[in-house]
Protein backbone atom coordinates (compact mmCIF):
# COMPACT_ATOMS: atom_id res chain seq x y z
CA UNK A 1 0.00 0.00 0.00
CA UNK A 2 1.45 3.36 -1.00
CA UNK A 3 0.18 6.47 0.77
CA UNK A 4 0.55 10.08 -0.30
CA UNK A 5 1.40 12.16 2.75
CA UNK A 6 3.14 15.34 3.85
CA UNK A 7 6.92 15.14 3.72
CA UNK A 8 8.67 15.05 7.09
CA UNK A 9 11.97 16.80 7.89
CA UNK A 10 13.61 13.37 8.20
CA UNK A 11 12.67 12.61 4.56
CA UNK A 12 15.06 15.20 3.17
CA UNK A 13 17.91 12.86 2.25
CA UNK A 14 15.61 10.34 0.60
CA UNK A 15 13.94 13.12 -1.38
CA UNK A 16 17.28 14.48 -2.55
CA UNK A 17 18.28 10.97 -3.64
CA UNK A 18 15.04 10.52 -5.56
CA UNK A 19 15.43 13.85 -7.37
CA UNK A 20 19.05 13.14 -8.24
CA UNK A 21 18.18 9.67 -9.55
CA UNK A 22 15.50 11.20 -11.76
CA UNK A 23 17.67 14.01 -13.08
CA UNK A 24 15.63 16.73 -11.39
CA UNK A 25 17.23 19.82 -9.81
CA UNK A 26 17.42 20.27 -6.08
CA UNK A 27 18.03 24.02 -6.31
CA UNK A 28 15.54 25.91 -4.19
CA UNK A 29 14.06 22.76 -2.69
CA UNK A 30 14.09 24.45 0.72
CA UNK A 31 11.45 26.92 -0.55
CA UNK A 32 9.09 24.03 -1.27
CA UNK A 33 9.44 21.80 1.75
CA UNK A 34 6.54 23.50 3.52
CA UNK A 35 4.18 22.20 0.85
CA UNK A 36 5.76 18.90 -0.06
CA UNK A 37 4.31 15.43 -0.45
CA UNK A 38 5.86 12.01 -0.61
CA UNK A 39 4.51 8.71 -1.85
CA UNK A 40 5.51 6.35 0.94
CA UNK A 41 5.46 2.58 0.69
CA UNK A 42 6.91 -0.27 2.72
CA UNK A 43 10.24 0.17 0.96
CA UNK A 44 10.37 3.90 1.68
CA UNK A 45 9.77 6.96 -0.45
CA UNK A 46 8.91 6.21 -4.07
CA UNK A 47 7.53 9.55 -5.20
CA UNK A 48 7.59 13.27 -4.50
CA UNK A 49 5.90 16.53 -5.47
CA UNK A 50 6.12 20.01 -3.99
CA UNK A 51 4.87 23.55 -4.45
CA UNK A 52 6.79 26.77 -3.96
CA UNK A 53 4.22 29.34 -2.91
CA UNK A 54 4.38 32.94 -4.11
CA UNK A 55 1.21 34.55 -2.79
CA UNK A 56 -1.68 33.43 -4.97
CA UNK A 57 0.67 31.78 -7.47
CA UNK A 58 2.55 28.53 -7.01
CA UNK A 59 5.39 26.68 -8.70
CA UNK A 60 4.69 22.96 -8.91
CA UNK A 61 8.06 21.28 -8.95
CA UNK A 62 10.02 18.07 -8.56
CA UNK A 63 7.16 15.75 -9.46
CA UNK A 64 8.69 12.33 -9.73
CA UNK A 65 7.97 8.67 -9.22
CA UNK A 66 10.59 5.95 -8.94
CA UNK A 67 10.75 3.97 -12.21
CA UNK A 68 9.58 0.69 -10.61
CA UNK A 69 6.39 2.37 -9.39
CA UNK A 70 5.36 4.30 -12.49
CA UNK A 71 2.19 3.73 -14.44
CA UNK A 72 -0.06 2.98 -11.48
CA UNK A 73 -1.37 6.50 -10.93
CA UNK A 74 1.07 7.73 -8.29
CA UNK A 75 2.13 10.70 -10.40
CA UNK A 76 -1.49 11.76 -10.81
CA UNK A 77 -2.22 11.31 -7.11
CA UNK A 78 0.85 13.34 -6.14
CA UNK A 79 -0.11 16.19 -8.45
CA UNK A 80 -3.76 16.20 -7.40
CA UNK A 81 -2.86 16.30 -3.73
CA UNK A 82 -0.18 18.95 -4.31
CA UNK A 83 -2.89 21.02 -5.99
CA UNK A 84 -5.15 20.58 -2.97
CA UNK A 85 -2.34 21.62 -0.66
CA UNK A 86 -1.60 24.66 -2.80
CA UNK A 87 -5.27 25.64 -2.85
CA UNK A 88 -5.42 25.32 0.91
CA UNK A 89 -2.46 27.73 1.08
CA UNK A 90 -4.28 30.33 -1.01
CA UNK A 91 -2.82 29.51 -4.42
CA UNK A 92 -5.12 30.21 -7.38
CA UNK A 93 -2.83 29.18 -10.21
CA UNK A 94 0.04 26.74 -10.55
CA UNK A 95 2.93 27.00 -12.98
CA UNK A 96 5.65 24.49 -13.77
CA UNK A 97 8.71 24.05 -15.94
CA UNK A 98 9.55 20.68 -17.41
CA UNK A 99 11.97 19.21 -19.91
CA UNK A 100 10.61 15.68 -19.67
CA UNK A 101 6.86 15.65 -19.03
CA UNK A 102 5.33 18.36 -21.22
CA UNK A 103 3.16 15.64 -22.81
CA UNK A 104 2.04 14.26 -19.45
CA UNK A 105 0.88 17.33 -17.51
CA UNK A 106 -1.90 18.19 -20.04
CA UNK A 107 -3.61 14.96 -18.93
CA UNK A 108 -3.98 16.65 -15.56
CA UNK A 109 -5.37 19.90 -16.94
CA UNK A 110 -2.14 21.87 -17.44
CA UNK A 111 -1.86 24.04 -20.53
CA UNK A 112 1.29 25.31 -22.25
CA UNK A 113 2.20 28.96 -21.90
CA UNK A 114 5.12 31.28 -22.52
CA UNK A 115 7.83 31.24 -19.89
CA UNK A 116 7.76 35.05 -19.82
CA UNK A 117 4.07 34.94 -18.90
CA UNK A 118 4.80 33.53 -15.43
CA UNK A 119 4.34 36.05 -12.60
CA UNK A 120 7.42 38.07 -11.65
CA UNK A 121 8.06 36.38 -8.27
CA UNK A 122 8.29 32.98 -9.96
CA UNK A 123 10.74 34.39 -12.47
CA UNK A 124 13.16 34.94 -9.58
CA UNK A 125 12.90 31.36 -8.29
CA UNK A 126 15.94 29.07 -8.60
CA UNK A 127 14.10 26.90 -11.18
CA UNK A 128 13.52 29.90 -13.44
CA UNK A 129 16.88 31.58 -12.92
CA UNK A 130 19.10 28.59 -13.41
CA UNK A 131 17.99 25.09 -12.60
CA UNK A 132 15.62 24.66 -15.58
CA UNK A 133 17.16 25.37 -18.99
CA UNK A 134 15.63 28.06 -21.14
CA UNK A 135 14.22 25.34 -23.42
CA UNK A 136 12.08 23.85 -20.63
CA UNK A 137 8.35 24.05 -21.32
CA UNK A 138 6.09 26.15 -19.12
CA UNK A 139 2.66 24.79 -18.25
CA UNK A 140 -0.01 26.36 -16.07
CA UNK A 141 -3.31 25.46 -14.45
CA UNK A 142 -5.90 27.53 -12.64
CA UNK A 143 -7.03 25.64 -9.57
CA UNK A 144 -10.63 24.90 -8.86
CA UNK A 145 -12.03 26.15 -5.58
CA UNK A 146 -13.33 22.68 -4.82
CA UNK A 147 -9.88 21.04 -4.61
CA UNK A 148 -9.93 18.49 -1.81
CA UNK A 149 -7.36 18.99 0.91
CA UNK A 150 -4.79 16.20 1.23
C1 LIG B 1 6.13 12.01 -15.07
C2 LIG B 1 5.98 10.99 -13.93
C3 LIG B 1 5.95 11.75 -12.60
C4 LIG B 1 4.66 10.23 -14.10
O5 LIG B 1 4.51 9.36 -12.99
P6 LIG B 1 3.54 8.06 -13.04
O7 LIG B 1 3.33 7.64 -11.65
O8 LIG B 1 4.05 7.06 -14.00
O9 LIG B 1 2.20 8.72 -13.64
P10 LIG B 1 0.74 8.06 -13.74
O11 LIG B 1 0.80 6.64 -13.30
O12 LIG B 1 -0.20 8.97 -13.04
O13 LIG B 1 0.47 8.14 -15.30
C14 LIG B 1 1.01 7.17 -16.15
C15 LIG B 1 0.64 7.48 -17.57
O16 LIG B 1 1.33 8.68 -17.99
C17 LIG B 1 2.23 8.36 -19.06
N18 LIG B 1 3.46 9.09 -18.81
C19 LIG B 1 4.28 8.94 -17.74
N20 LIG B 1 5.33 9.78 -17.85
C21 LIG B 1 5.16 10.46 -19.00
C22 LIG B 1 5.94 11.47 -19.65
N23 LIG B 1 7.08 11.93 -19.13
N24 LIG B 1 5.45 11.98 -20.81
C25 LIG B 1 4.30 11.51 -21.34
N26 LIG B 1 3.54 10.55 -20.76
C27 LIG B 1 3.98 10.03 -19.61
C28 LIG B 1 2.44 6.86 -18.97
O29 LIG B 1 2.82 6.32 -20.21
C30 LIG B 1 1.08 6.37 -18.52
O31 LIG B 1 0.22 6.36 -19.64
P32 LIG B 1 -1.04 5.32 -19.73
O33 LIG B 1 -1.94 5.67 -18.58
O34 LIG B 1 -1.65 5.67 -21.07
O35 LIG B 1 -0.47 3.96 -19.65
C36 LIG B 1 7.13 9.95 -13.95
O37 LIG B 1 7.21 9.40 -15.23
C38 LIG B 1 8.49 10.52 -13.58
O39 LIG B 1 8.84 10.56 -12.41
N40 LIG B 1 9.28 10.95 -14.59
C41 LIG B 1 10.64 11.45 -14.34
C42 LIG B 1 10.62 12.80 -13.66
C43 LIG B 1 9.88 13.83 -14.47
O44 LIG B 1 9.97 13.91 -15.68
N45 LIG B 1 9.09 14.69 -13.74
C46 LIG B 1 8.34 15.78 -14.33
C47 LIG B 1 9.12 17.03 -14.34
S48 LIG B 1 8.73 18.09 -12.99
Terminal alpha carbon distance of the chain: 17
pLDDT tens digits, 119-132: 999 999 988 888 77
Among protein residues, the one with the nearest Cα to ligand 1's atom 44 is: 100
Q: How far is the C-alpha of 144 from the C-alpha of 132, rounded, in Å?
A: 27
Q: Which domains does the chain have, with CATH numbers?
A: 3-142 (3.40.630.30)
Return the ligand 1 atom nearest residue 101 CA. Answer: 23
Among protein residues, the one with the nearest Cα to ligand 1's atom 39 is: 64
pLDDT tens digits, 81-119: 999 999 999 999 999 999 899 999 999 999 999 999 999
Name the pTM for this structure: 0.94
Q: How far is the C-alpha of 71 from the C-alpha of 148, rounded, in Å?
A: 23
Amino acid sequence: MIEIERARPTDRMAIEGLLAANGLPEAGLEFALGAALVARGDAGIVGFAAVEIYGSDGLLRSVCVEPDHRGIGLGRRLVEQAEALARQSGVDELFLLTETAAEWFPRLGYRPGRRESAPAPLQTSPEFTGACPIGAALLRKRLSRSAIVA
